[in-house]
Amino acid sequence: MNARKTSGIAALAALGLLSLGAAPRKDEAPKHQVPRSKDGDVVIALCDGETTLEVDGVKDPSKIDRKKAQEISNHLMSEWRKKNPNAHWDDPAPVLLANAQPPTPPQATKAPVANQGQSASSNADAVQKKQDANVQAGHTYGAFSARDEALWKASAEQIVQEGHKVFHDAKELGSTVAVSCDMCHPDASNTHPETYPKYQVQLGRVALLRDMINWCIENPVRGKPLAEDDPRMKAMEAYIYAQRKGVKLEYGKH
């Protein structure tokens, strides 16, 4: 048993030699010998590996409050600077009290208002006039301007317009009999998108609006069904939904 242990140590020594031989380390970090306090007080060691400070009368480090900690830190730092007079040390910027709090973002110019106007930010001008109004503010989300809103509205309108075009264009729909959707559905009437998804009796399965669009394209329109992500399909869905603004959503209705 002894013999085995010895051979183990020998092996470790060999390994150590080998590793030393491969990468010899000249300047190992000095071991910081922190002296023990005679009274059992807390001793703080600075990261330079030499400087220490005994905190008189404090036995439990967790009892040091923020103010005391700052004093200890300041003291140790001044010790270090005495030892290293040539170190280029820039004083830190004066600490502002306000930074202790989370930063206050600039006030949203168009604060969201509930249940008014066409969108969350509509009627913002009126809100701004009433500066005293008790409204939630201070988020980047929702802090958009009337100009933003106008641009977004135009973008949405663009796809609706594109859908209007496809809906009214037999060629675009791929009709082989010159039939377009508007011939039976002026202003997308009687397309009732608000009732989908629903069990479509004639198909024997649950259908979405796009399934019915494709059914119409295949049958009365006599074209080829569109892929579900076909831009024409997306545009037509946009147009059809846009015509039913304000209608109660009643999926499953027959």
| CB distance 74 to 82 below 8 Å | no
Q: What is the nearest approach in angstroms of another protein to the Cβ of residue 162? A: 16
Q: Which of 201, 205, 245, 248 lies at the binding interface for another protein (CB under 8 A)?
A: 201
Q: Which of 183, 206, 227, 249 lies at the binding interface for another protein (CB under 8 A)?
A: 183
158 or 219: CB nearest another protein: 219
Among 205, 204, 226, 206, smallest CA distance to 215 is for 226
Q: Quick count: other Cβ atoms within 10 Å of Cβ 216?
A: 19
Binding flag, residue 185, another protein (CB under 8 A)? yes
Among 146, 148, 150, smallest CA distance to 158 is for 150
What single-letter amino acid sits at 139? Answer: H
Reported as half-sphere exposure (CB side, CA atoms, 13 A), residue 75 has a value of 13
Cα 29 to Cα 6: distance, rounded to the nearest angstrom? 31
- Among the candidate windows 39-47, 78-86, 144-152, 213-221, which touches another protein by CB under 8 A? 213-221
Q: Quick count: other Cβ atoms within 10 Å of Cβ 238?
A: 18
Per-residue x/- track, 93-122, another protein (CB under 8 A): ------------------------------
Q: In the range 114-173, which residues lie near another protein by CB under 8 A? A: 168
Phi, psi at 56, each rounded to 5°: -65, 130
| CB distance 213 to 237 below 8 Å | yes
Cα 31 to Cα 45: distance, rounded to the nearest angstrom? 12
Q: Which of 75, 165, 192, 198 lies at the binding interface for another protein (CB under 8 A)?
A: 192
Binding flag, residue 249, another protein (CB under 8 A)? no
- Among the candidate windows 16-24, 49-57, 115-123, 216-224, which touches another protein by CB under 8 A? 216-224
Binding flag, residue 215, another protein (CB under 8 A)? yes
Q: What is the nearest approach in angstroms of another protein to the Cβ of residue 182? A: 6
- Among the candidate windows 46-54, 74-82, 91-99, 194-202, which touches another protein by CB under 8 A? 194-202
> How does DSSP assign 35-52, residue by residue?
PPPTT--EEEE-TTSS-E
Q: Which of 187, 206, 227, 252 lies at the binding interface for another protein (CB under 8 A)?
A: 187
124 or 216: CB nearest another protein: 216
Binding flag, residue 18, another protein (CB under 8 A)? no
What single-letter amino acid sits at 128? Answer: Q
Binding flag, residue 86, another protein (CB under 8 A)? no
Cis peptide preceding 197, ω within 30 of 0: yes
The residue ranges that bind another protein (CB under 8 A) are 168, 177-179, 182-187, 189-190, 192, 195, 201-202, 212, 215-216, 219-220, 222
